[in-house]
Structures are given as structure tokens and as C-alpha cells.
Amino acid sequence: MTATGAETVVTPARARTAAEGAAVRRKQGFQHGAWFIAPFLVLFALFVIWPLLRGLWLSLTDANISGDGANFVGLDNYREALEDPLVWESLGHSAYFTLLVVPCITVLAFLLAMLAHHIERGTWLWRLCFFAPFLLPSTVAANLWQWLFNPGTGMINHVFGIEVAWLTDKSYAMLAVVICTLWWTVGFSFLLYLAALQGVPAHLYEAARLDGANAWHRTVHITLPMMRHITGLVVALQILASLQVFDQAVVMMDFLPGPEGSTRTFVQYTLEEGFTGYRVGYASAISIIFFVIIAAVALARMWLLRTREEGGR
């Protein structure tokens, strides 16, 4: 390197040496970082990648639950699944459950978060009451609501003075599962909204109040726009979780598909074929189809989010 006045000239040899040094530092940094992520990669490959590949292979065979005599059948399982009316019926039940749960839980979680955020006395108690049900195991929540919906001894019919066969009438069975799910899982979305509300700058509300904006205007023009991203996250998480509904529906219906199969979800039908019908290959094909659906929903959500962010720039 030579200097002429204030100008500095980098020779090709010095530039090459600097580039090689930078490459060595990057390589060393990667080697050090690899040791930190290696345990995660091993567990991810062991419990996610390998089961996925194994399930994909089984979906191309006629394997039974014993694992003996599995013959390669190609795409026969997938063709049968696409022509199976119970596949579409169970998928419809999962979609119907999702359409009921996602809007209700999003609105309810936001309202509860607003209430807990503005209460001045006993704030910790309200937050605990709203979030505590989410800490219960799914079986406990399902058994509790199974007892509440019992037409003979349950409190729901007694308190409201009605006579509804919640768990034995196909018109109400899925609704009972939805109510149980709302009570049990709203705490998670409530916590996300509450954290987001606490992050809204207070000076925005003060400025709006000085301009004469009432509580409704402040909510519509400040709170809701500031909650846009967290609402998208809540909706995405709830869609993915609701499509995979299984525990509460099965437990509330005593491990049966409900009256006239009205609460048989996609996951439940997959397990029925695999562990009741002993058709592991066919059940694997159904699960792969379901995996593709879930992945498509997740990718669509990511695409919409990126498109919205690029459009807002």
C-alpha cells in the first residue's frame, strides 16, 4: 500500500490478503456457531425430518400397524384418499370448526386484553383469571366442559333454563367443542394482545385526547391500527391450531366421532384409519395430504404478510 498526499492506494496483493483473512474469519465463525446449533439440528432431524420421510415412504405402501409385509403401491393410497367421502367430511368438520373459532377467539381475546389493560384495581387477578384456563391440560378442560354440558347433571342447561342435548345432538355437538376451545385457549391470544397494548406509545392517546377524540375514536384510529400485526399473528396461529383440533373433540365425545360423525375431525379420522383400521399406509397418505394443506395455509399467510408490508412501503 502506498500513500500520495491524502490518497491511499491498495495494492492487489494487500487486497487479496485482506479478502483471504475475511474468508478465514467467516469460516471460523461458522465453525464456532455450528457447535451451538448442532444439538437443535440433531433433534430436528430425529423428530421432524426422519418421521416426515418415514411417513412419506409409508404412504406409498400398504403397510399395516404390525409393520410386516409392506408392499409398494405407489399413489394408490392418495387416489383412494381423494375419493374417500369421509376424508372430505372430516376435512369439512375441521374447516367448520376453524371458521367458528378463529373470528370468535380473535375478537374475544382483544376485548379481554382491552379490559385487563384499562382496569386499575386487581389487575393481576383479572389477568390471571383470563390466562389460567390455558394452563390446563386439554383433557382436563374437555372433561370439565363435558360435565358442564351434561343434560342431566350439568350446569349449562340448569343455569340458562334450557334443555339441549349438547353432546348427543349433531346440531350442537360441534358448538359445544367450540365453546370449550374458546374458554380453554383464549388466554394465549389474550396474552399476545395484552403485550401489544402495553407497547402502544402513551403520547398517541394523549395527543388524540387533546384533539377531542373520545374513547371510541382512540380505539378505532389508534389501537386497532397498532394491533394490525399482532392480529395477523393471532389469526395465523389460531388457523393452524384449529385445523389440527383433536384432543377436546375426542375427549368430550368419549373417544367417538360424535353424533352421526359430526365432530370427527381430519386428525381423528387419520388416527382411526391407522390405529383402528390398522391401515398405516393409508393413514400416512392422509396425514401427508393434511401436511400439504397446513403448509399451504402457512405459506399463504407469509405471502400475504410480505405483500402487505411491501405495499405499505
Q: Provide the pLDDT for residue 1.
A: 46
Q: How far is CA 303 from CA 31, 164, 176, 299, in A?
A: 33, 43, 34, 6
Query: Hey, what's the cell of 152?
Result: 342431566
Alpha helices in the chain (DSSP H): 12-44, 50-58, 76-83, 85-118, 123-131, 138-148, 155-160, 173-198, 202-210, 215-218, 224-226, 228-243, 247-252, 266-271, 280-312
Confidence of residue 292 (pLDDT cuts 50, 70, 90): very high
Q: Which of 94, 96, 57 is nearest to 77 (CA)?
A: 57
Q: Provide the pLDDT for residue 10.
A: 52
Q: How far is CA 161 from CA 61, 146, 148, in A?
A: 54, 18, 14
Q: 2 in helix, strand or coil?
A: strand
CA distance linking residue 194 with residue 190, whole number of Å: 6
Query: What residue segments make up the domains of the chain, in order of their start?
Result: 2-58, 80-312
Confidence of residue 29 (pLDDT cuts 50, 70, 90): low
Confidence of residue 308 (pLDDT cuts 50, 70, 90): confident
Q: What is the pTM of this model?
A: 0.84
Burial string for 12-36 (b: 16+ CB within 10 Å, else e) reads eeeeeeeeeeeeeeeeeeeeeeeee
Mean pLDDT confidence for 244-250: 93
- CATH of region 80-312: 1.10.3720.10
Give the tens place of pLDDT for each residue, 130-157. 999 999 999 999 999 999 999 888 889 9
Match 383412494 to its residue by C-alpha cell. 80
